[in-house]
A and B are shown apart, each in its own frame.
Chain A
């Protein structure tokens, strides 16, 4: 009975996880994007904890705790500290494919993810059938965020979202990776986010814009 309830919760959390990736795809406010990413990571932590409860691997609770520590708290804090308010106050108006176009392409990507990843699932593996498509759809949408947005901060968020999706895939298929790798991964992402934040500020100092997508034109 608990098993069914936990699966149900996983389904709903998975739907919200995917939905929030879409919200990140079209969010305009830079600060809002960082907050949305924190929410996205909180959902990932909840998913990992529920999978841990479901499969009885205590180990995933640790993954959830690390996710909260690094991705819900540390990375958004770092990004907000490193990137100045002048950049964070901005809004992105122009997308490469427009907002509706981006949403439609995102929808098609999730269709692609569903059809390809359900073929990969071992028959009878309910958990993977439920969440593997979600994980790969989020990873694809994250990739698309880095392609379809021009500003630097959303592009960073795209990388981070893609990483969240991949972590979810790891959680549902292999129930996480060894602890040392996990730690390395989290520090990697944290330092990566820090570096990207610094690079955004360098870009801003040089060109007075953070529209990384139009750098080719700015080169002159």
Chain B
């Protein structure tokens, strides 16, 4: 029994050369098309994820629940409606929905949604950049909520800031552990490292980091132990109150951005951290369709876990959110420590 646990996986150098890329219809353009296809997938399917979550929740609570297409109906309705904007609102108020819509799309360009090889903009930013880009959307949503001087908006936005501030260190710690194992923070490279490592990469620190990251996802997307996504009581809302002043198309954009944010975060969680398998290795329609199916399977599992948590936990009091995220931080810190000790 001389062999110990390998401290780091033997990481094959992941040198990206253009020779590795499939040559169909010009190197750059096919990658570009695939990259835009990923964006399209995220845009089209993110409301479905929301719908599936809502329906599953209904089934768990032994009622019929809304149709899985309900978010699409909502968006269709909102995009046909007129907007009402306060006279005193500045450009920030008008720009914020665009930001919260564009930000998840930007992140989509950086992460592996369908393909396991890096696409055109894969090296534009890493996972930390994704985190900060997502924070930019939150920043503008907060500014917009303060812009109209509605008391509920300000209250909600300051609460959202609090949750985000507390989630930030956990996110950083998680990414540090991931980057230590994979020697990179580029999502594609991390995915490849886990994939090549096979079961070798399932360390204690990996388990701890996965738990911590999942807790952060719950907090960042306004899910139940932190915030009730279905609650419409103004004094208790955290995430929803930012969009209280919006109506019509702007509200549609904000809502769609929220759906995409959940989709993107869950995709990073599944494709990069938990199940790096089942991504397309080539740019053929069959492989992409298979990857889409695999992605849905993974997201469905993720949605089931979220629904289980949402149906069994009560919402935390606001001042216990800090304790929840503090626990997440300690978990991720333990992950970091166990990595360095070499367990």
Interface residues in chain A, defined as those with a beta carbon under 8 Å from any beta carbon in chain B: 3-5, 7-8, 11-12, 14-16, 18-19, 22, 26, 54, 99-100, 103-104, 106-107, 110-111, 114, 118, 124, 126-127, 129-130, 133-134
Stretch in contact with the other chain, from B1-9, B177-185, B265-273, B275-283: B1-9
A26 nearest CB neighbor, chain B only: B327
Across-interface contacts of A111 in B (CB, < 8 A): 337
Main secondary structure of the interface of B (DSSP, over half): helix
B205 nearest CB neighbor, chain A only: A15
A-facing residues in B1-25 (Cβ within 8 Å):
1-5
CB distance from B153 to the nearest CB of A (A): 29
The answer to the question of B60 belonging to the interface, with a C-beta cut-off of 8 Å to chain A, is no
B1 and A11 contact, CB distance less than 8 A? no
CB distance from A145 to the nearest CB of B (A): 15
Inter-chain CA distance A127–B2, complex, in Å, is 10
B338 nearest CB neighbor, chain A only: A15
Across-interface contacts of A118 in B (CB, < 8 A): 341
Chain B's interface size range is 20 to 34
**Residue in contact with A107 in the complex, picked from B1, B334, B342, B343, CB distance below 8 Å:** B334
**Residue in contact with B204 in the complex, picked from A11, A104, A110, CB distance below 8 Å:** A11
A114 and B326 contact, CB distance less than 8 A? no
- Offer 8 A-B interface pairs, CB within 8 angstroms, sorted by A: A4-B5, A7-B5, A8-B5, A11-B5, A15-B338, A100-B326, A104-B330, A130-B5
Inter-chain CA distance A191–B71, complex, in Å, is 58
A15 and B204 contact, CB distance less than 8 A? yes
A55 nearest CB neighbor, chain B only: B1
Other than the given A11-B204, A103-B330, 17 more pairs (CB < 8 A) read: A3-B1, A11-B5, A11-B203, A11-B343, A12-B202, A14-B204, A15-B343, A99-B326, A100-B326, A103-B323, A103-B327, A118-B341, A124-B2, A126-B5, A129-B4, A130-B343, A133-B343
* Binary flags per residue of B299-343, CB closer than 8 Å to A gives 1, else 0: 000000000000000000000101100110011011001100111
A-facing residues in B183-213 (Cβ within 8 Å):
199, 202-205, 207-208, 211
Inter-chain CA distance A154–B258, complex, in Å, is 41
Across-interface contacts of A133 in B (CB, < 8 A): 341, 343
CB distance from B259 to the nearest CB of A (A): 32
**Residue in contact with A19 in the complex, picked from B199, B211, B322, CB distance below 8 Å:** B211
A134 nearest CB neighbor, chain B only: B343
Inter-chain CA distance A14–B206, complex, in Å, is 13
A99 and B323 contact, CB distance less than 8 A? yes
Inter-chain CA distance A54–B3, complex, in Å, is 13
Inter-chain CA distance A18–B204, complex, in Å, is 10
